Structure 1
Amino acid sequence: MKGIRGLSHLSTRLYAAQAARKVETTRAGEHLKFQPQDVQVSRLASGLVVTSLENYSPVSKIAVFVKAGSRHETLDNQGVTHVLRLAANLTTKGASAFKICRGIEAVGGKLSASLSRENMMYSVDCLRDDVDTVMEFLINVTTAPEFRPWEVSDLTTRVKYDKAQAGENAHIAVVESLHEAAYKNALSNSLFCPDYMVGNVQSQHLHQFVQNHFTSARMALVGLGVDHTVLKQVGEQFFNIRGGAGASDVQALYRGGEVRLPSTSSLVHSAVVSQSAAAGTAEAVAFSVLQHLLGAGPHIKRGSNATSKLVQGVAKATADPFDVNAFNASYSDSGLFGIYSISQAGSTGDVIKAALAELNAVADGGVTAADLTRAKASLKSHLLMSVETCEGLLEAMGTQALTSAAYQPPEEFAKTIDNVSLTDVANAAKKFVLGKKTMASSGNLVKTPFIDEI
């Protein structure tokens, strides 16, 4: 397939013309009033979902979301998504790595790639008048990668560096180990390349993975500060690359277990979870409310989170410094819920047991209507603040486009939060209490209990 070398027919004048139609001039003719727009979503005949919001920002953000996260790796290509993320700026069939780098820098833009267990995201930021320029590179990177063997080989150093950084970060190490222990497959795959595959992910692995997963039906084209009609035109012409649904998704199987990562650190990071609910379900909303009822972390930098039920309960058990919050992760077919604590090595056992006692109390009905109201308000504010930034809104639009080919604004989701009852929250807590546990710990683990001791 030939690379994309120009988008001159999609002139910036077209963007300006579209915006001009939506502008009203006041009587004085001195101010411009922009008509508010809603998020627009379209599914093309190819299966590609196009969603956009014309917010009239001078800076545009455009992203391609793909159902190609680490959960889609197999035993034969472990670590391929980690390498694929790092390969976002390599030579394509339409532009060299040098041209991509210099071309985006020349207009003050930015190209980035990110990875989650569910999806890959490629995004570009630029001034509105330079959309054509950066869009050319985004199309090349996502539809015409070349993966030259020598360029892929040169990524080994960066893969090793990422692995080293992740290993030194106790929080990342615990969360990765938690997923590895919790699931038999799919969601057990790490976001980072395993040691035995570092340097062994070859060009053919990347080509095969892209061929199987980068299909139109598994992709979403998302834009902020762009006209929906223009974005649809781009999707119809340049993203109709491979038909079909691509490789079939594998159902995640929960198993439970324990991973311990001993080190000389005096701080112990520990997480205790059990299976919760898949994203998008009413039960998942109840778990989110439960998280904010127990304590989801401070919203103020270096805040104490003193009003958290977990913090208040643990404070009665130890005088040592600690930090404890509810842990909640939801995926398309499963989820994890529990507690995450950071404590001094000598008091880890007390912290974990006290936090679990708070969860038991909620399961036994120890929650008041005032507690529930406060938790709902906290969850709503968290939700609204998450889409205040362009990055948060773009991610929300892209994720929803892939899962449901639609967009539910926070105001609509708030209504589902209001429907959560005290019984729903208690049942969610009971599911954790009665469920099979998974535990991951890192640090000086001399006083850290094993999973069968809590």
Structure 2
Amino acid sequence: MISNKISKYPLNGLVLKRLLSGQTSPKRSEAEQSRGQQLKTTTLPNGLVVTSLANQSPIARIGVIVRAGARYEPLDQLGLTHTLRSMAGFSTQDSTVFGITRNIEYVGGSLTALTTRDDMIYILENDSSYTDLNLKYLSDTIMKPAFKRWQIKDNLHRQRVDLSYFRDNQQLVLLEALHSVAYRGGLRNSIYSPDFMIGKHSTEQLSRYVDQHFVSNRTAIVGFGVEHNQLLERVDKWFSMSKGDRGNSGQSKFIGGETRVDTNSEVTYVAVAAEGVGAKNQKEVLSLSLLQTILGTGPRVQSSEGKHTKLGEAVAKTTSDPFAVSAFNISYSDSGLFGVTVAASPQDIHKAVKAAVTQLRASAKSISDEELKIAKHSLKASTLLAAEDPNVLVEEIATQSLNAGQVISLKDYEKAVDSITVQDITTLATKITKSKGAMASSSEGKHTKLGEAVAKTTSDPFAVSAFNISYSDSGLFGVTVAASPQDIHKAVKAAVTQLRASAKSISDEELKIAKHSLKASTLLAAEDPNVLVEEIATQSLNAGQVISLKDYEKAVDSITVQDITTLANKITKSKAAMASVGPLQNAPYLEDLL
């Protein structure tokens, strides 16, 4: 069946896990067969890299990976690769969607499309005797998509379903938020389309993107269950791609920062990261993978509570409630993220995150030989387990082909892991822990000051937020509240009472967190060139000069608690205005709040 998977992480990215199976088989595993066969790689004159593994399997798998992931999307076409991914298998210039689906499914095959920030990945699986027939449909899907307007429209519900699944997965929401604040440039782009871009990608935009990025020198093809010479012949027949580099460079820079996302979860999720390393530097990737393993990647046995890792032991001391904590190591072609994720109750999340980060810093300075020995065994085992999945193996081999132009064997991989020393890890880890950081958190909005106050007045859904609107000579500061008609009076009163209380008492810690958040949100807004143009023009008119981002950050840091409380007290004692919309029978009047 034609399937459209959401995403994947490479072998040396987030630790790959496989469920333990109770079944046994006398057949050799994929990994064992792979060890017994020789990987062959050929780089064609047009730059296309072809790798094969004739593993004697009756199933042939052909993977095509194109360096055209989300990071290469134009700024005004965000989410375009999400549309590409979800339209894999639709009509092409030579084949109808019915023809592709019927012919592949008729022989029990499958065509899968996946995306990362780096790459678009297509995998064809079928009985090896039908490979020649189905390669035409794989080739058409990649090189000759039609992007018919009515099919783009028909595809919208699939993208909305993707977004629905995405929003229900708090870990994915957290990681996407982390990327959005950690990077400037392509790696900030999400692998999911923003809501406002659903249905906005035209036939012309999609076709132009494929024409610019789906070129031979940005492509690798991997074949399992096929002889190398046969694969080269098939590639020559079906994948006559042009050479060039006409697309977006995808250039990215790690800038760090902080973002907070309101969700409907009763658990607070936090990710803290620094810039890791790119996938091209194998030694550094392995060093961080071993540090990740030493810190812990969550429970590996279903009944385990995950407390018996370094991170788990540290966080367990801060809470008696259930929690989850894990180290992660994500590598892209030229950068990466290394850090920890923590999930805990709202009342314990601050202590839990602090304990996890403290343990990360401590481990960066001190690792024993025994810990490293155990970590090496564990990392090699998890990699070999992941390699048992032939699709994971296809993706990994193709990614290595694009990143390095060659593929490391499992035997050489094990040797590379064994060569890493304690000094290698601590040197790199110390450097990372002293660099800029990025942080993302997600939880229910009621865990803000206003949210906590209003939550005490209602058990129904609500929304509350402070706002600050400035004009050239005046402005508005206040709160907005949305709640059920029966609770709106109490909710508004609670929000106004909290506003007045905060105007009189702000802690140094609250101000420190607010400064980080304000600077991060400003830097994120400045990523939008239209917002930046408007802001610069407004400053020019209002003050006759423009403040740089560096001076803006200094100005934010110079604000004191006294500055805020003095002005806030003045505002809360001045005249007020109020507007209400909706069923108003229980809505408060302004005089009720004064």
- TM (norm. structure 1) is 0.88
Q: Is the 8 A contact 1:91 1:147 kept in 2?
A: yes
Question: Counterparts of 1:414 and 1:38 in 2: how far apart (Å)?
Answer: 16
Residue 5 of structure 1: aligned partner: none
Mapping of residues 50-199 of structure 1, within 5 Å? 50-199=50-199
Mapping of residues 242-257 of structure 1, within 5 Å? 242-247=242-247, 249-257=249-257
1:348 lines up with 2:349 in the alignment: yes
Question: Counterparts of 1:266 and 1:123 in 2: how far apart (Å)?
Answer: 38
Amino acid at match of 2:195: D
Residue 329 of structure 2: aligned partner: 328
Residue 313 of structure 2: aligned partner: 312
Question: Counterparts of 1:152 and 1:431 in 2: how far apart (Å)?
Answer: 47
Amino acid at match of 2:321: D
Residue 261 of structure 1: aligned partner: 261
Residue 17 of structure 1: aligned partner: none
**What stretches of structure 2 of length at least 5 have no aligned partner?**
1-32, 450-508, 517-594
Q: 1:419-447: CA deviations, max 9, x gaps? A: 22222222233233212111111113738
Q: Is the 8 A contact 1:274 1:336 kept in 2?
A: yes
Q: Is the 8 A contact 2:209 2:247 kept in 1?
A: no
Q: State the Cα distance separating 1:262 from its structure 2 match.
A: 2.1
Question: Counterparts of 2:35 and 2:158 in 1: how far apart (Å)?
Answer: 46
1:378 lines up with 2:378 in the alignment: yes
Question: Counterparts of 2:134 and 2:448 in 1: how far apart (Å)?
Answer: 54
Q: Is the 8 A contact 1:285 1:417 kept in 2?
A: yes
Does 206-215 or 245-254 show the bigger shift?
245-254
Q: Is the 8 A contact 1:153 1:202 kept in 2?
A: no
- Decide whether aligned partners of structure 1 residues 387 and 450 sit closer, same or farther in structure 2, where only a CA change above 3 A counts: farther
What secondary structure sits across from 1:89 in the alignment? coil
Q: State the Cα distance separating 1:355 from its structure 2 match.
A: 0.7
Question: Counterparts of 2:370 and 2:34 in 1: how far apart (Å)?
Answer: 41
Residue 16 of structure 1: aligned partner: none
Q: State the Cα distance separating 1:245 from its structure 2 match.
A: 3.4
What secondary structure sits across from 1:221 in the alignment? strand
Question: Counterparts of 2:298 and 2:304 in 1: how far apart (Å)?
Answer: 9
Q: State the Cα distance separating 1:36 from its structure 2 match.
A: 4.0
Question: Counterparts of 2:142 and 2:276 in 1: how far apart (Å)?
Answer: 34
Q: State the Cα distance separating 1:237 from its structure 2 match.
A: 2.3
Q: State the Cα distance separating 1:66 from its structure 2 match.
A: 0.5
1:289 lines up with 2:293 in the alignment: no
Residue 45 of structure 2: aligned partner: 45
Q: State the Cα distance separating 1:303 from its structure 2 match.
A: 3.4
Q: State the Cα distance separating 1:44 from its structure 2 match.
A: 1.2
Larger Rg: 2
Q: State the Cα distance separating 1:248 from its structure 2 match.
A: 5.3
Q: State the Cα distance separating 1:451 from its structure 2 match.
A: 11
State the superposition RMSD in angstroms.
Answer: 2.2
Question: Counterparts of 2:55 and 2:511 in 1: how far apart (Å)?
Answer: 50
Residue 6 of structure 1: aligned partner: none
- Decide whether aligned partners of structure 1 residues 218 and 309 sit closer, same or farther in structure 2, where only a CA change above 3 A counts: same
Residue 435 of structure 2: aligned partner: 435
What secondary structure sits across from 1:329 in the alignment? strand
Q: State the Cα distance separating 1:302 from its structure 2 match.
A: 5.0
Q: State the Cα distance separating 1:330 from its structure 2 match.
A: 0.8
- Decide whether aligned partners of structure 1 residues 210 and 317 sit closer, same or farther in structure 2, where only a CA change above 3 A counts: same
Question: Counterparts of 1:452 and 1:276 in 2: how far apart (Å)?
Answer: 26
Residue 408 of structure 1: aligned partner: 408
Amino acid at match of 1:121: I
What secondary structure sits across from 1:64 in the alignment? strand
Q: Is the 8 A contact 2:222 2:394 kept in 1?
A: yes
Residue 420 of structure 1: aligned partner: 420
What secondary structure sits across from 1:345 in the alignment? coil
Question: Counterparts of 2:193 and 2:263 in 1: how far apart (Å)?
Answer: 22
What secondary structure sits across from 2:75 in the alignment? coil
What secondary structure sits across from 1:125 in the alignment? strand
**What stretches of structure 1 of length at least 5 have no aligned partner?**
1-32
Question: Counterparts of 1:202 and 1:246 in 2: how far apart (Å)?
Answer: 19
Q: Is the 8 A contact 1:214 1:246 kept in 2?
A: no
What secondary structure sits across from 1:90 in the alignment? coil
Question: Counterparts of 2:349 and 2:448 in 1: how far apart (Å)?
Answer: 6
Q: State the Cα distance separating 1:388 from its structure 2 match.
A: 1.5
Question: Counterparts of 2:287 and 2:128 in 1: how far apart (Å)?
Answer: 41
- Decide whether aligned partners of structure 1 residues 450 and 290 sit closer, same or farther in structure 2, where only a CA change above 3 A counts: farther
What secondary structure sits across from 2:420 in the alignment? coil
Amino acid at match of 2:191: L
Q: State the Cα distance separating 1:220 from its structure 2 match.
A: 1.2
Question: Counterparts of 2:413 and 2:99 in 1: how far apart (Å)?
Answer: 43
- Decide whether aligned partners of structure 1 residues 35 and 326 sit closer, same or farther in structure 2, where only a CA change above 3 A counts: closer
Q: Is the 8 A contact 1:279 1:332 kept in 2?
A: yes
- Decide whether aligned partners of structure 1 residues 54 and 321 sit closer, same or farther in structure 2, where only a CA change above 3 A counts: same
Percent of matched pairs sharing the same residue: 34
Does 400-409 or 425-434 show the bigger shift?
425-434
Residue 221 of structure 2: aligned partner: 221
Question: Counterparts of 1:434 and 1:300 in 2: how far apart (Å)?
Answer: 33
Q: Is the 8 A contact 2:330 2:338 kept in 1?
A: yes
Residue 300 of structure 1: aligned partner: 301
**Paired residues, number:** 421
Amino acid at match of 2:107: V
Does 410-419 or 146-155 show the bigger shift?
410-419
What secondary structure sits across from 2:252 in the alignment? coil
Question: Counterparts of 2:85 and 2:314 in 1: how far apart (Å)?
Answer: 42
Q: 1:314-367: CA deviations, max 9, x gaps? A: 1122222111010211111111111111111211111101111111212332x2
Greater RCO structure (CA 8 Å; 6+ sep):
1
Residue 364 of structure 1: aligned partner: 365
Q: State the Cα distance separating 1:313 from its structure 2 match.
A: 1.4
Q: 1:229-277: CA deviations, max 9, x gaps? A: 1110111222122122342523211111111112342211110011121
Amino acid at match of 2:205: H
Q: State the Cα distance separating 1:203 from its structure 2 match.
A: 0.7
What secondary structure sits across from 1:298 in the alignment? coil
Question: Counterparts of 2:288 and 2:511 in 1: how far apart (Å)?
Answer: 22
Q: State the Cα distance separating 1:78 from its structure 2 match.
A: 1.2
Q: Is the 8 A contact 1:48 1:235 kept in 2?
A: no
- Decide whether aligned partners of structure 1 residues 364 and 386 sit closer, same or farther in structure 2, where only a CA change above 3 A counts: same
Question: Counterparts of 1:34 and 1:384 in 2: how far apart (Å)?
Answer: 11
Residue 398 of structure 1: aligned partner: 398
- Decide whether aligned partners of structure 1 residues 383 and 452 sit closer, same or farther in structure 2, where only a CA change above 3 A counts: farther
Q: State the Cα distance separating 1:52 from its structure 2 match.
A: 1.0
